[in-house]
Chain A
Amino acid sequence: MPGLEDLYREIILDHYRAPRNRGELAVPPAHKVEGFNPLCGDEVVLYLEVDGDTVTDLKIAGQGCSISQASTSMMSGAVKGLRVAEVRRLIRAFKALMSIHESKLEGDADGDDIRTELEGVRLGDLEALQGVVKFPVRIKCATLAWNTLQQGLDEIESGDAAT
């Protein structure tokens, strides 16, 4: 039986109590994207500034549980300054990290794909969120920010973000 310390690692609580990169950016030039978890009402707001092929700045807002807010804060620190292609790679790796548990349970053949996604990607502090997979209901809390980020990058690339 996983314990609370598996879920609420100290670094997660630290990000929850003192979220990094909190604030807003002027839109435009930044792009604003919102994500919701309809089950619990959690909300993530991202302000993305992409210059050429690089995420030059990122601010976060919103409200929610410690896992969703800590994941958002940790994500903001991890992707700032990265090239868009690297950010997308990190998104895939993080989501792979979050699905390891389920695929193992189901003997999913995609398990190899997950290991491939994770290979060569430095998750750093983000690995602290791995404990979340032991609490399947909370996985959506952890991935909310990352899905929102992916949506934002897609919008920017498809030109929806005329703003």
Chain B
Amino acid sequence: MNPTDHAGLDTARVQRDFPILSRTVNGKRLVYLDSASSSQKPQSVLDAMDEQYRTYYANIHRGVYTIAEESTAAYEHARAKVARFLGAAAANEVVFTKNITEAINLFAHSWGRTNLREGDAIVVTEMEHHANIVPWHMLCAELGTELRWIPIDHEFRLDLSELDRLLDGAKLFAFTAVSNVLGTVNDVRFLADAAHAAGATVLVDAAQAAPHGSVDVQAWDADVVGFTGHKMLGPSGIGGLWARPELLEAMPPFLGGGEMILDVRKDGFVPNEVPWKFEAGTMPIAEATGLAAAIDYLEILGTEAMLEHERRLTAYALDSLHDRFGDRIHVHGPAGTQMRGGIVSFGFDHIHAHDIAQVLDEEAVCVRASHHCAKPLMRVLGVPANTRASFYVYNDEADVDTLVEALERAEKFFAV
């Protein structure tokens, strides 16, 4: 794909690569607008996992036989591919986990309990997912650390007017690169610089940034970055943590068991080297292979083309919703497409998100209706839940049109 191709992706061709998109629900074409929750998978990912199971599946780092070596090679090849995709300097800076929730919990448990003590401060933002809130709540309850919150402003962006004061004395700044509710894209480098100036370590939640390949851990100057495979065309059950090598070296193991050790005696154990010391037990093996295939697919499409495609669809969706519903719809997110991803959350005054999603399901339109695992943010927005449509590489203008028509039906159905 030519990154300068302003026509963007060949969506029709992309759609043909995703078997699930050819099915119907209620006799209607499936319109999948919930990729921010979990993306669909292309044939190449299914094939890669299938091929491993059929021809060279075995546990990794254990057997000396041929297929065990092939399986191990595929797993470590996947690690190298992820490292390159994230802009990391070396493969062993990437630790595989089951998802980003486990990645952040690993870091909180291992680094947090080693480096934080009572009275220390952790800074988060109001637009965080529960995965980047609850581990810190747990740590605060255990250690007596303080959790500070960067608020959002009326344009649904971070209000940085008190940034320096909030970062003063903080040991960790943990924030998302892209909000999973608002679609807001944060200036990661700016925030990382501010945190470093205050002496804080920087953790970035890249769950919604990795799907477009727009993660560059070195350009971001981050210290720790978490991601999850199932939102970026890969299978569920695999994600990971990238961290600076000196952090990983100094961190104690998280889970204990097989694979993460060099030696075990009756009186103790010697942990394995980084990154394997954090990978206890049998890991998601075919899932790593699937993730590598997903990255291959994303790299063929190209980051610039994906971002441009998403901007175009988001602009079309924002315009269509505004044209059709005017003041009756409230979009919870930035007005334009500048520094904004393909996530559009909205609400109607007198229709609950669940009811909207139910009517949309009748039209085979899949959206998320909930608090999106971001309850502190929903409280700031003043709503218990909203409806979220999220766009990815296989969505097109026809999907937006179907969404808008289905919303019209919902509005008529629940008219007071």
Contacts and interface: CB of A to CB of B under 8 A. Distances in A.
B354 A141 contact: yes
B413 A40 contact: no
A64 B371 CA distance: 13
A132 B375 CA distance: 27
A61 to B, nearest CB: 14
A42 B384 contact: yes
A141 B370 CA distance: 13
Contacts of B354: 40, 65, 67, 138, 141
Nearest to B354: A65
B416 A17 contact: yes
B78 interface: no
B378 A4 contact: no
Contact of B358 (A43, A64, A138): A138
A3 to B, nearest CB: 7
Interface in A20-57: 39-43
Interface in A87-132: none
B385 A4 contact: no
A132 B344 CA distance: 29
Contact of B370 (A40, A63, A66): A40
Contacts of B355: 65-67
B362 A40 contact: no
A135 B359 CA distance: 12
A4 B26 contact: no
A3 B358 CA distance: 10
Interface residues of A, number: 21
Given A41-B384, A41-B385, A135 B362 contact: no
Given A4-B362, A66-B355, A41 B371 contact: yes
B413 A4 contact: yes
B48 interface: no
Contacts of A43: 384
Interface residues on B, range: 10 to 19
A40 B358 contact: no
A162 B149 CA distance: 39
Contacts of A66: 352, 355, 414
B182 interface: no
Contact of A8 (B370, B378, B385, B413): B413
B369 interface: yes
Contacts of B362: 3-4
Nearest to A18: B416
A64 B370 CA distance: 11
B370 A39 contact: yes
B358 A7 contact: yes
A19 B378 CA distance: 25
B26 A1 contact: yes
B416 A135 contact: no
Contacts of B384: 40-43, 63-64
B369 to A, nearest CB: 7
A41 B378 contact: yes
16 contacts: A3-B362, A4-B413, A7-B358, A17-B416, A39-B370, A40-B353, A40-B384, A41-B384, A42-B384, A43-B384, A64-B352, A64-B384, A65-B354, A67-B355, A135-B358, A138-B354
A66 B370 CA distance: 15
A102 to B, nearest CB: 19
A88 B369 CA distance: 33
Interface in B77-134: none
Kindly name the residue among B362, B371, B384, B416 whose own CB sees the greatest number of chain A CB atoms within 10 A.
B384
